[in-house]
Amino acid sequence: MTTTRRKFLSHGALAGAAAMAAPAVHAQTAPIKWRLQTYAGAALGEHVVKPAIDAFNKIAAGQMEIELYFADQLVPTSELFRAMQAGTIDAVQSDDDSMQSPTEVTVFGGYFPLALRYSLDVPVLFNQYGLAQIWAEEYAKVGVQHISAGSWDPCNFATKEPINSLADLNGKRVFTFPTAGRFLAQFGVVPMQLPWEDVQVALQTGELDGIAWSGITEDYTVGWADVTKYFLSNAISGAWIGHFFANAERWAAVPPHLQELMRVCFESSHYYRQWWYWGGEANLRVTGTKLQLTTIPDEEWATVEQAAAKFWDEVAAESEVKAKVVNIIKQYNDAMTKAGPPYRFG
């Protein structure tokens, strides 16, 4: 009799207690729901972000789910930062510049003029030259978690009329990033800002004369190659700097293992873009049939390179943080130039 009662106490009662506790355990494991909006429209987002989000949701196995929204679906791109900071959305994929982050490093996001030659320059600058720490510190000041940085395509002009000299840029109404527009204005470019999804129609109606927003892969992917005729081979920058960010409080509430999974999946997104853009840029220059390539001669383009160096110094004079970043960019480019091919040619 004693043995029977002991078995009941050790097995039956404990099992009953566990069953009663089960609903509480299930409540605790309800999936965490996040909303992430990207700067990219749907056609581009299929490449630059969706594979990573799909992978995260699959591997998270019901513990967390990220809902993906494309450009302007929840809020306009220019309001992305404020929406994330306020917690209206949980996370963002964008450059600093186009979402108008109120930080000292915003000017370097997107395309900082002629600072980068290749896409690999971005991860090296962030992971080996200290930019990741600077970005993390600056965004922490404004309640945002900087998760990771990666590179996209170079920035070239795609236009309806050919560009064969700097003079051909004069008066051209061009859709571009704020910092790029600030730099290009000295060559007569008229920078234009409008919703990403409106660009193609604006090119068709004549509101825009061209774009300086991407490389040739993106021009073909999103349809801009259908409404422009020429592609200028001279790049304003060799790579776009973009990031994944999150609301700091929401990030802190995510378990460490899911934070790490997010980082890994976002790094896989950065890697995907490395080869997708790198191969696409070369292939479409050679085999693409929609855009005719033009070039500004090297001796004339050197004027733009000189103007970029002056622009860097002007930016550096604006604050200590900006001066620190510009100094790192200069040190990096100096090392690449001294290393010679394949790091830098000419």
Q: Are residues 132 and 259 in the same domain?
A: yes
Q: Is the pLDDT of residue 155 over 50?
A: yes
Residue 193 phi/psi, 5-degree rounding, is: -120, 125
> Which residue's entry shows tokens 């992978």?
55
Residue 312, token pair as written in the block: 């860097």
Q: Is residue 305 part of a domain?
A: yes
Q: What is the pLDDT of residues 174-212, one digit of tens each?
A: 999 999 999 999 999 999 989 888 999 999 999 999 999
pLDDT of residue 43: 94
Decide the pairing of beta strands 173-176 and 190-192. Answer: parallel
β-pair partners for 316 = none
Q: Are residues 209 and 255 in the same domain?
A: no
How large is the average pLDDT for residues 254-272?
Answer: 98
Q: Are residues 221 and 269 in the same domain?
A: no
- Among 248, 264, 283, the domain-final residue is 283
One-letter amino acid of 149: A
The set of residues, in sequence order, having a beta carbon less than 8 Å from that of 274 and lying 6+ positions away, is 119, 120, 150, 151
Average per-residue pLDDT for the chain: 92
Q: Is residue 346 part of a domain?
A: no
pLDDT of residue 197: 87
Residue 332, token pair as written in the block: 């990096």
Q: Are residues 52 and 120 in the same domain?
A: yes
Q: What is the pLDDT of residues 74-133, one digit of tens each?
A: 999 999 999 999 999 999 999 999 999 999 999 999 999 999 999 999 999 999 999 999
Domain housing 89: 31-152+240-283
Q: What is the pLDDT of residues 30-45, one digit of tens each?
A: 899 999 999 999 999 9
> Which residue's entry shows tokens 């980068």?
116
Q: Are residues 77 and 133 in the same domain?
A: yes
**Percent of the chain's residues with pLDDT above 90:** 89
Q: Is the pLDDT of residue 2 over 70?
A: no
pLDDT of residue 141: 97
pLDDT of residue 1: 41
Q: Is residue 6 part of a domain?
A: no
Q: Are residues 165 and 178 in the same domain?
A: yes
Q: Are residues 117 and 128 in the same domain?
A: yes
Q: With bands split at pLDDT 50, 70 and 90, how would you rate the model's confidence at 323?
A: very high
With 0-12 / 13-18 / 19 or more C-beta atoms within 10 angstroms meaning exposed / middle / buried, residue 78 is middle
- Asked whether 228 and 160 are in contact (CB, 8 A), the reply is yes
CA distance 63 to 346: 52
Q: Is the pLDDT of residue 172 over 50?
A: yes
pLDDT of residue 196: 87
CA distance 30 to 20: 18
For the chain, counts of helices (H) and of strands (E): 14, 11
Q: Is residue 312 part of a domain?
A: yes
pTM over 0.85: yes
Q: Is residue 137 part of a domain?
A: yes
Residue 120, token pair as written in the block: 């690999």
Residue 272, token pair as written in the block: 């995907």
- Asked whether 80 and 94 are in contact (CB, 8 A), the reply is yes
Q: Is residue 4 part of a domain?
A: no
Q: Is residue 171 part of a domain?
A: yes
Q: Are residues 230 and 249 in the same domain?
A: no
Q: Are residues 198 and 69 in the same domain?
A: no
Q: Is residue 10 part of a domain?
A: no
**What sign for the dihedral angle of Cα 62, 68, 74, 78?**
positive
Q: Are residues 276 and 207 in the same domain?
A: no
Q: Is the pLDDT of residue 27 over 60?
A: no
Higher pLDDT, 163 or 18: 163
How large is the average pLDDT for residues 6-24?
Answer: 43
Q: Are residues 164 and 203 in the same domain?
A: yes
| Counted domains in the chain | 2
CA distance 204 to 215: 19
**Percent of the chain's residues with pLDDT above 70:** 91
Q: Are residues 210 and 254 in the same domain?
A: no
